[in-house]
Structure 1
Amino acid sequence: MPHNGPSTDESNESGESAYDRRRLRQWLAGEARADGVERRDLLRLLAAAGLATTATVAGTGFAAPAPAAPAAAERAEDTVAAAAAPGIVKPLPEAWFTTRGTNAETRFEALAGTGHHTPTDRFFVRNHTSTPVLDASAWTLTVWGDGLVRGRAAEFTLDDLKRLPATTRSAFVECAGNGRSLFTTQQGQSVSGTAWTLGAIGAARWRGVRLGEVLRRAGLGRDAVDVLPRGLDADYVTADGTNLGRVRRPLPLAKALDDVLLAYEMNGEPLPPDHGHPVRVLVPSWTGIASIKWVGDIEVSAQPLYSPWNTDFYRLFGAAYPEGGSAPLTRQTLKSAFELPWNASLAAAADHRLTGRSWSGAGRIARVDVSTDGGTTWRRARLHDTPRRADWVRWSADWRPAAPGAYTLLARATDTTGRTQPRTTVHNTQGYLFDAVVRHPVQAV
């Protein structure tokens, strides 16, 4: 049955900061494991948290990383200039997508009139390497680790998962770097990584089995604290040749047991290859990196875990943050987007229905306000969906431009936590979590 209680990441502490500090203390005491993370990176994080001491760090060791698969050379979040996205299986019509290296961004105007859920063929693609094409009949999921009773591994086929109680939910998946280019174009700030506009997001109807159900059937032990899903795509190799292994990122057990799905359907059909076939992890409200595609194994650990995807990547770095970076990114932020091309031409002295979407990782959307004069005046938009946690809402506002000329449209969302999109986003060097009101230029002609 669907889980209707409060979400752990909403009802408990905001984000993962206290949990992260506890993991750091446990690492100092030799009780945590850093899978594929270099000692210098852990020292940097410890220093940022004010926990590092040379005496205690000296004797701490690391476990060996998982066995390697064929390597692919691309640095996380780097943009590669290419006419097409290598390693993506589905067609990428130019009217629907902008290709960005190994990734494909949905053009937001391509969502106009498509309904609440993003059509699967228009859903953005974020790949660290390339899409593996896997045989569902041969696929298995291995659940293993010292967080299981007696440390005994369990194996599940796709048919095994489908025999378990199924859950269906509507939720968005969004890359942490969605909106990254706006740090530069709107705030004049330099950032690194793929220059997403606002289309590195999609919302779908997902069906699968709750991760908590699978963990319990595998024999979840009383000492378990972290869960580490790992994908079956190729090993990730950085530009300097460092093999970081397969994409993986730990979840605290409380989140894993709350609302996380092992999804095998998307919009009523089996998952397509680019979106995780045959099974992916879905972590509602959290940044997309947590929703591991093509999941092949899940480690359940009695020790806190680290991976490069919550140490070097997916933290906030910059002048506003500690030297070692922020806590690992968890929940997504608050955004709004118009379903219009950039610099769209609209007839002057004619009636128009402006449409768009707003979403938040922290709560439900409470209201959306729209300005057609660059922010001088605002009026409330009409919401066309029942606001739900971890999902977006469609909205509309009528507008009649009085005369030809350049106009700036703005949309500003407020969620049920009381947070409203700010005028600017605090800068971070990797361009994550842009949440400022976007200034959308149009021309009345």
Structure 2
Amino acid sequence: MLRDRHDRPVDGGDWFIQHGTDVETRWNADVPHLTPTDHFFVRNHTEPPHVDPETWRLVVSGDGVVGETSYSLDDLKSFTSHTYERALECTGNGRSLFGSQQGTERPGTQWQMGAIGVARWTGVPLRTVLRHAGLTGDAVQVMPVGLDARYVDDGIDHGHVRRPLPIGKALDDTLVAWEMNGEPLPLDHGFPVRLVVPGWVGIASIKWLGELQVTTSVVDSPWNTRWYRMHGEGWSGDAAVLDRMPPKSIVDVTGDPEVGRMAVLRGRAWSGEATIRMVEVSTDGGRTWEEASLTGSNEPSSWVEWEHPWTPVASGEQVLVTRATDSLGRTQPEVAADNDDGYFFGAAVRHRVTVRAEVSTPAGASGRPAPVG
């Protein structure tokens, strides 16, 4: 059950696919450019804490700052705030497609492609807070720590959810956020304050932020060694590290295309720390490709809408496939790299539609293209 910042239930209605206590946004809903807050996917490891915003403090500590400093919410808001539209995406988004599309089912939450959303986040850059706290020149990482309940698995207490963030990313575009789409963060999304780490795996954007441990040496946590790291044959060292999300694309909801009648395919594409340079569409299962038109905003670590005309020539099942190329030159592959935990499904997604047999158009009826998406 979703909850707002006052722990009141929020009815997701038909917007969500339920995965136990987690939910993902359905793509057969009318997904707007900005995902409404009460329709945004939720992934929690433990129970959200009940934090009093009046007494809440963000503690900055460690040998990478000159001394321990504590900030109230008002203290953070006294800094110059920033607002930008960025995506948050679960590392396992698309995990179910390892099984349904590649025949290698992987354990874990069987996300389809809805464990992502784009919101307008407001807060203060993390670099502002770190520099104000006296960041030293030899600091190498920041360990953000959540205030949610300690995570216990198989009788082992792994502590609060936390994951190291390299100092380069911390000083780049990471945000200490207190607003989502112009309103205070809901409880399930980190009230009163969370990190937003644009373009990176969702676990990096620690919710219910309570502490920033800044260190001059690398310190790991279970959330970058035991979990949220590539495991399996061929994965080791730097290749196993999960940080920047890969490019992805999808066809939005399709209608009922008809033979001989032009439809307009629509969808969106996104990529971690990059914009989208090109989206290609195949209406024959990947044998041939055509470039789609990008429409609207195209910002890094967000998504861009695309559209493409299509006139089906045969009835029955057809397979639509899309692939995106981002501004870093990365293109979605035909097959996603296999790994034990089903992370980073970035392959071109196959979308099946049924084309209806040609229906004669009554005299005087509109000949406008039928929307598909």
What TM-score comes out, normalization by structure 1 length? 0.76
Post-superposition Cα deviations, 1:277-325, rounded to whole Å, max 9, x if no partner, equal 1111011111000000110111111221100001111111112223x78
Classify 1:391/1:142 alpha carbon distance in 2 versus 1 (closer, same or farther; 3 Å).
same
Q: Distance in 1 between matches of 2:309 and 2:47?
A: 42
In structure 2, distance between residues paired with 1:348 and 1:160: 62
Q: Which runs of 4+ in 1 moved over 6 A?
A: 85-88
In the other structure, the counterpart of 2:371 is none
Q: Please give the alpha-carbon distance, in whole angstroms, between the structure 2 residues aligned to 1:325 and 1:145.
A: 25
Whether 1:130 and 2:43 are equivalent positions in the alignment is no
> Is contact 2:142-2:164 (8 Å) kept?
yes
List aligned pairs for 1:295-374, cutoff 5 A.
Answer: 295-322=209-236, 326-340=239-253, 345-374=256-285
Matched residue, 2:311: 400
1:331 and 1:89 mapped to 2: Cα distance? 34
- For 2:313 and 2:167, the matched residues in 1 are separated by 56
Q: Does 1:158 align with 2:73?
A: yes
**SS of equivalent to 1:306:** coil
Instruction: State the 1:377 CA deviation.
Output: 2.1
Q: Which residue of 2 aligns with 1:288?
A: 202
Distance 1:86 1:193 in 2: 23
Distance in 1 of aligned mates of 2:211 and 2:174:
15
Q: Shift in Å at residue 389 of structure 1?
A: 1.5
Alpha-carbon distance, 1:86 to partner: 10
Contact map agreement 1:282 1:292 (CA 8 A) in 2:
yes
Match of 2:20 among 94, 101, 114: 101
Answering whether residue 361 of structure 2 is matched by residue 444 of structure 1, we say no
The amino acid that maps onto 1:422 is: P
Q: Could you list the per-position Cα deviations for residues 347-400 of structure 1 after superposition, in whole angstroms to 9, with x for gaps in the alignment?
A: 444332221110111521001011112112221111112422211111111223
Distance 1:144 1:201 in 2: 32
How far off its partner does 1:346 sit? Answer: 3.9
Query: What's the CA shift string for 1:125-177, capped at 9, x where partnerless?
Result: 1111123333222221111112211xx21111111111101111111111110
Offset, 1:208: 0.5
CA–CA distance in structure 2, aligned partners of residues 276 and 118 of structure 1:
16
What per-residue deviation string (whole Å, max 9, x for no partner) do you get for residues 68-119 of structure 1?
Answer: xxxxxxxxxxxxxxxx67998653534210011221011123244x2x2111
**Please, what TM-score do these two structures have when normalized by structure 2?**
0.90
Aligned to 1:380: 291
Shift of the 217–325 alpha-carbon distance from structure 1 to 2, 3 Å rule, reads closer
Change (3 A) 1:96 1:311: same
| Contact map agreement 1:109 1:338 (CA 8 A) in 2 | no
Task: Confirm whether residue 273 of structure 1 aligns to residue 273 of structure 2.
Answer: no
Are residues 94 and 405 of structure 1, via their aligned partners in 2, closer, same or farther at CA, if it must alter by over 3 Å? farther
- The number of equivalent residue pairs is 354
Aligned match of 1:67 = none
Contact 1:108–1:337 (CA under 8 A) maintained in structure 2: no
Whether the 8 Å CA contact 1:345–1:444 is kept in 2: the answer is yes
User: Over aligned residues, Cα RMSD in angstroms?
Assistant: 2.0
Which of the residues 165, 173, 196 maps onto 1:259? 173
Q: Matched residues in 1 for 2:124 and 2:238: separation?
A: 34
- For residues 437 and 317 of structure 1, the distance between their equivalents in structure 2, rounded to whole angstroms, comes to 22
| 2:343 paired with 1:432 | yes
- Mapped pair 1:190 → 2:108: no
Letter in 2 for 1:439: R
Is this contact kept in 1: 2:91–2:343, CA < 8 A? Answer: yes
- 5+ residue gaps, structure 1, are 1-83
2-structure distance, mates of 1:145, 1:383 = 46
Whether the 8 Å contact between 1:236 and 1:244 is mirrored in structure 2 is yes
1:144–1:300: 8 Å Cα contact kept in structure 2? yes
Name the structure where helix makes up a greater proportion of residues.
1
Q: Is the 1:105–1:200 contact (alpha carbons within 8 Å) kept by the matching residues of 2?
A: yes
1:330 deviates by 0.7
- Taking the TM superposition and a 5 Å limit, the aligned residue runs for 1:72-111 are 90-111=9-30
Q: 1:247 aligns with which of 156, 161, 168?
A: 161
Q: Equivalences for 1:54-73 in 2 at 5 Å? A: none
Aligned residue among 150, 174, 179 for 2:89? 174
Percent identity at matched positions?
A: 50
Structure 2: runs of 5 or more not aligned: 357-373
1:191 maps to amino acid: R
Paired with 2:295 and 2:230, the residues of 1 have a C-alpha distance of: 34
Match of 2:322 in 1: 411
